[in-house]
Chain A
Amino acid sequence: MPSNPTTINIPPRWDIFCCVVDNFGDIGICWRLARQLANEYSLAIRLWVDKPEAFLAICPSVTFLNEQAQFENVAIHTWPEHWPQTTAEQTADVVIEAFGCDLPATYLKAMSEREQAPLWLNLEYLSAEDWVESCHLLPSPQTNGLKKTFFFPGFTDKTGGLLREENLIEQRRRFQSKGGAKQQFLASLGVHQTNQAVLVSLFTYPNTALPLWLDELANGTQRCHLLIPQGLISQAVAKYLAQQKLNVGERYQKGQLCIQAIPFISQQEYDQLLWSCELNLVRGEDSFVRAQWAGQPMLWHIYPQAEAAHLIKLEAFLSHYTRTMTAENAAQYRSISMAWNSAEAPPHKGWLEFLLSATNRAHASNWCTDLSQQKNLAESLWRFYRNWL
């Protein structure tokens, strides 16, 4: 007698390939995406990373065993230098090459041998430039017979959107409204905000004009408590203070400016840091996006490129970000951003006051609210996959 058929729901398998170029931005984004897809869409996610030490830096509690680890429902694998022979069955249903990285040749061959070709996506870096909309979701036929699709994050409905966990905004609201949550979190970092001092986070690329901006803070009228996560920028600030290095927890006073280095923190803690500060100076893509979800004033330090090519990308963002500002405020915000990204001195004395102004605070909050109405990146990917099936 035949047994009752049992339906076993096997979750679709997704492979995300991440080649770490430098710093922690690339792996940070891939990890957030992997985690969200696994936990919100019940997908079987493997994250392949060529430099596991970069992953371990952001998730230090994870232990790799035989080049792999399991954490928060994601299988994290070391992407080996020499990829072994792979069968079609070992490849995933959806393959994401993050930021245009080249997939291993043997894996590609196995993909082409599958009975049903996988959905192959090239997930690109974030850009607000107009051309992104026209390239988002375009196919890219390859000589091996497979078709790749370009997938672009972005700021409009015609793009893949931004990485945002389903409950992120609600989490932030709860944190900001719960009495003592901010103080408790800051205390865990050894930070005690003094009266009247505004809390500012600084996480940027090296900037030769940084001393000029710090001088402005030191000589200004507003007391400022500057928090600096560990990294290259903390070395630059130590140099500014004529210190060998910044000791975590120690406070360095210069005029109105109090500088404090904080420990290397997890992604969740970094979110809380952004939610706690009145102004966030952020960089690249990951912290830049998270700062927008913080709904607080921010200033972006874009990844610098040869021949100032990055300024075009910055301009594209600014044109979106300042669209609903008054012409005067937009000009102010633009001039501050351009100076910050061009290694120039602050454009005027009132730059900090402007960034902290009630108008700019309201703008940052409204920008966050508007953006959060869009589909998030993970949801866009998942929907595209569902439609492709």
Chain B
Amino acid sequence: MKTAQEMKANSVMLIDGQPWMVQKAEFTKSGRNSAIVKMKLKNLLSGSTTETVFKADDKVEPVILEKVAVTYSYSMDTTYVFMDDNFNQYELNADDIESVLPYIVDGMTDICEAVFFEGKVISVDLPTTIVRQITYTEGSARGDTSGKVMKPAKLSNGTEVKVADFCEIDDWIEIDTRTGEYKCRAKAPA
């Protein structure tokens, strides 16, 4: 058993004997209210989705899934194709990779993990830290160098990320894929 707050995007749990994948998990703790985790879940058998909420310390039954290392290959409409070392291709619908979609860019070389349930690929996990290039951001308004003042920036796929005020267009940055937050500036990938 795990607690609800340990379940992250792409985790799978059994509810009434059915496997449900966490597509999105939002933790909230407010005042005296119970700490809760609101989840968007997808039934891996029927494809139906639902929203639920758990107390953060509620017990849930996780499902361990098989994983295979893959890299992103290409996309067609809403289908995203990944390939393993043996050149096997795995197709995923955009809905299946909703949480990683903001970080999918053409030419990315990150080693990802394709996730399988009963032999069928159901999603992809990204590394915890990825490096992406800023394609647009405003200039530094205040000349801040502390990294505490943030501003919006866009990646090549249009995803918006809050970055340190000193970041500029064409800079490479590290992003935490668990939170979507900017970590620091980075070197361009080799």
Show the binding face of A for B, using Cβ within 8 Å.
21, 99-100, 122, 124-125, 127, 129, 131, 134-135, 138-143, 145, 150, 302-303, 305, 309-310, 312-313
Contact = CB atoms under 8 A, between A and B. Distances in A.
Nearest to A138: B53
B31 A309 contact: yes
Size category of the binding interface on chain B? 20 to 34
Nearest to B53: A138
A140 B51 contact: no
Nearest to A309: B31
A97 to B, nearest CB: 10
23 contacts: A21-B32, A100-B34, A122-B34, A122-B55, A124-B33, A125-B32, A131-B26, A131-B28, A135-B36, A138-B52, A139-B52, A140-B55, A140-B58, A141-B15, A141-B52, A142-B58, A143-B1, A143-B60, A302-B31, A303-B31, A305-B31, A310-B31, A312-B30
Contacts of B32: 21, 99, 125, 303, 305
A310 B32 CA distance: 8
Interface in B1-48: 1, 15-16, 26, 28-34, 36, 38
Contacts of B34: 99-100, 122, 124
Contacts of B55: 100, 122, 140
A312 B53 CA distance: 21
Contacts of B38: 131, 134-135, 138
B147 to A, nearest CB: 22
Contacts of A140: 52-55, 58
Consensus secondary structure, chain A interface: loop
A143 B61 CA distance: 7
B187 interface: no
Interface of B: 1, 15-16, 26, 28-34, 36, 38, 50-55, 58-61
B31 to A, nearest CB: 4
A122 B36 CA distance: 12
A303 B50 CA distance: 34
Contacts of B1: 143
B30 A309 contact: yes
Contacts of B28: 131, 135
Nearest to A134: B38
Contact of B31 (A125, A134, A145): A125
